[in-house]
Copies of this chain bind each other. A is one copy, B any other.
Amino acid sequence: METRTATTIFESLSSGWRLEAFRLLVRQGPEGMVAGDIASALDISPSSLSFHLKALAHAGLVSVEQEGRFQRYRANIPLMLDLIAYLTEECCSGQPEKCADLRAASCCPEAVLPPIPADDGKP
């Protein structure tokens, strides 16, 4: 992933409204949600929500599909996972022993960082 792509995504998650909207859509899964329902759930004006959804869509974090007179939004979960991979890749330059303590500090680290490769002694 390019730096530019990642910063655009982070920027899109840097507002409370946008983060809440995205999390709502992640919770909703493939079903997604139409704009009006998101606005009701977050208690935000349609115009303001539209502004924020546009930023999320521009970053690629949500997709839109027209459905009659509604606009249905869905979270782009694969992109979210790519972002996480980008953020965690090359942690401690791939020297797992340096990472061990840091990994242990989180509740379920092995679910998040790439697995520590077993050292089989080969070059």
Q: Which residues of A contact B (CB under 8 A)?
A: 3-4, 6-7, 10-11, 13-16, 19-20, 23, 26-31, 77-78, 80-82, 84-85, 87-88, 90-93, 95, 98-99, 101-103, 105-109, 111-115
Is the contact region of chain A dominated by helix, strand, or loop, or is it mixed?
Answer: helix
Q: With A and B bound together, what is the CA distance between A41 and B2 in angstroms? A: 18
Do residues A14 and B3 form an inter-chain contact, with CB atoms below 8 A? no
The count of identical subunits is 2
Pick the contact of A113 from B29, B81, B113 — CB < 8 Å?
A: B81
Do residues A77 and B102 form an inter-chain contact, with CB atoms below 8 A? yes
Do residues A28 and B93 form an inter-chain contact, with CB atoms below 8 A? yes
Do residues A4 and B27 form an inter-chain contact, with CB atoms below 8 A? no
